[in-house]
Structure 1
Amino acid sequence: MTLAKIPTKIHELFIEHGLVIKVEKGCQLFQEGERAEDIFLIQSGIIQLSKETENGKELTLRICSTNGMIGEGSPFCNLHYHVATAKALEHTTLLALQYRSFELLLTEHPALMLDYLNWLQIENMKNQSRLRDLMLHGKKGALFSTLIRLANTYGEMREDGAIFINFALTNTEIANLCATSREMINRMLNDLKKHNIISFDKSYITILDFHYLKDEINCENCPISICRID
């Protein structure tokens, strides 16, 4: 269920002009509040973007993998600091472009500028749809929509119609994606397992009844390009 995440021509800009950066598992690429100077394209690996609340709770905003772009909010604006913390969940290789260089390259190629703006609008729609689910359907909606987004991003369809989410997540990490507590996630996941909606083996979840999750939150059947976790 994976999709290309950025236009091919913009990907080529990073290949031609980007600087290779490697980040070890568990290390930070940048921290919330730090000065922002570069925009990044993930060549391999996985980067988690998160924010920390005043009481120290972590909220995961995105989990980005190969061909994902991060730090994309600052070009063409006066935002010169990172609004989230980026941490490698596994050994990750990225290409970095300075914001000023990226801006100049897009300005010189109007067709690429339109591609970038179109891609950025899709990213905004992702954020809006996730916020809508959190606000309208509470904790249950947050979990169900997160499972749907994980399936659309990392899901592998099985012959029996089940969807295996090929991405390991602890209950704490799922709670951070849902802006709720681990105890609440534990109860809801166990209840879904009891009713044969999902199964789980260690940190891997298989969705047995995908339509149930969608029906429970009145899913609007957004395009998969929008209903994603990356």
Structure 2
Amino acid sequence: MQSLKEVSTELHELFEMVHHIRKMEKGTFLFQEGAIANELYIVQSGILQVSKIIPDGRELTLRMCKKGDLIGEIDIFCPSQKYLLSGRVAESGEVAVIMKDVLEEKLSKNLPLSLVYMKWMSQQYRKTQTKFRDLVLHGKKGALYSTLIRISNSYGIMKTDGIMIRLPLTNQELANFCGTSREVVNRLLSDLRKANIISIDKGTITIHDIDYLRNEIDCERCPVEICRIN
């Protein structure tokens, strides 16, 4: 998810609608699937993991959101809508809370802000569509490669030997992004390490040959603002 500054400076007007600041503790849920969707959030600190949890307990992670990210693609001007996803706190921090009714009132009176908000919503749908495209068309290996590329765009730092991902993730967390098992991710990561495509040091992944990952999934070179996990 793009930060407010990246979408448009006009979205900074959302800060004027902040109702209150809420602390979030690691391991807890900020919001859960099925609950009434009446709040929008701006991450102030910490990391929030947005996921779809299916009945058998498996989890498909769609985003890892950080400071400045806008969360909660609620359906505005629709009564009694519910959250379709869950937001679990991966790193303790705070969020600014915007109430849905306040947002609706502001958007109804501010056409420029409404257009920018619609653009932001459109980008979120495009991100979700491309993620599911990779999951469906490229299988488990392609899903992992796509995830590594997206994570590098969101949390990568250029180093002399490649792109270091400054977001430590367990193999289970990577598996949740790919909709597969930890065992499958273990094997695929091992293959990439042996081929010197990546290296892993104390949970930190460095991608040495990102072009290899892109070529393996026939990367369409989407704009970076679309090819992200936040």
**Which residue in the other structure is 1:184 paired with?**
184
**Which residue in the other structure is 1:38 paired with?**
39
Can you list the C-alpha shifts for 1:45-94, whole angstroms capped at 9, x where unaligned?
11001121121111112111111111123223345211111111111211
Equivalent residue letter for 2:39: D
Deviates more, 1:27-36 or 1:73-82: 73-82
Cα separation, 2, equivalents of 1:71 and 1:16:
15
Query: Kindly tell me: are residues 209 and 79 of structure 1, through their superposed partners in 2, closer, same or farther at Cα, counting changes over 3 Å?
Result: farther
Query: Kindly tell me: are residues 157 and 95 of structure 1, through their superposed partners in 2, closer, same or farther at Cα, counting changes over 3 Å?
Result: same
Q: How does 1:189-204 map to 2 (within 5 A)?
A: 189-204=189-204
Equivalent residue letter for 2:99: Q
Verify the 8 A CA contact 2:37 2:74 in the aligned structure 1: no
Verify the 8 A CA contact 2:36 2:80 in the aligned structure 1: no
Verify the 8 A CA contact 2:171 2:186 in the aligned structure 1: yes
Cα separation, 1, equivalents of 2:20 and 2:8:
19
Query: Kindly tell me: are residues 44 and 11 of structure 1, through their superposed partners in 2, closer, same or farther at Cα, counting changes over 3 Å?
Result: farther
**Which residue in the other structure is 2:173 paired with?**
173
Identical positions, percent: 46
**Which residue in the other structure is 1:151 paired with?**
152
Structure 1 residue 24 displacement after superposition: 1.3
Asked whether 1:27 is paired with 2:40, we answer no
Cα separation, 2, equivalents of 1:121 and 1:71:
13
C-alpha RMSD of matched pairs (Å): 1.5
Structure 1 residue 16 displacement after superposition: 4.9
Cα separation, 1, equivalents of 2:71 and 2:17:
18
Cα separation, 1, equivalents of 2:134 and 2:93:
30
Deviates more, 1:70-79 or 1:212-221: 70-79
Verify the 8 A CA contact 2:38 2:74 in the aligned structure 1: no
Verify the 8 A CA contact 2:17 2:98 in the aligned structure 1: no
**Which residue in the other structure is 1:68 paired with?**
69
Cα separation, 1, equivalents of 2:74 and 2:219:
28
Q: How does 1:31-110 map to 2 (within 5 A)?
A: 31-78=32-79, 80-110=81-111
Verify the 8 A CA contact 1:126 1:227 in the aligned structure 2: yes
**Which residue in the other structure is 2:205 paired with?**
205
Cα separation, 2, equivalents of 1:70 and 1:168:
22
Cα separation, 1, equivalents of 2:103 and 2:8:
14
Aligned residues between the structures: 228
Structure 1 residue 15 displacement after superposition: 4.4
Can you list the C-alpha shifts for 1:134-177, whole angstroms capped at 9, x where unaligned?
111100110000000000000000123x0000001000000000
Deviates more, 1:77-86 or 1:138-147: 77-86
Structure 1 residue 6 displacement after superposition: 4.0
Secondary structure of 1:45's aligned partner: strand
Which ranges of structure 1 fall in alignment gaps of 5 or more residues?
A: none
TM-score, normalising length from structure 1?
0.94
Structure 1 residue 197 displacement after superposition: 0.3
Verify the 8 A CA contact 1:6 1:69 in the aligned structure 2: no
Query: Kindly tell me: are residues 57 and 148 of structure 1, through their superposed partners in 2, closer, same or farther at Cα, counting changes over 3 Å?
Result: same
Which ranges of structure 2 fall in alignment gaps of 5 or more residues?
A: none
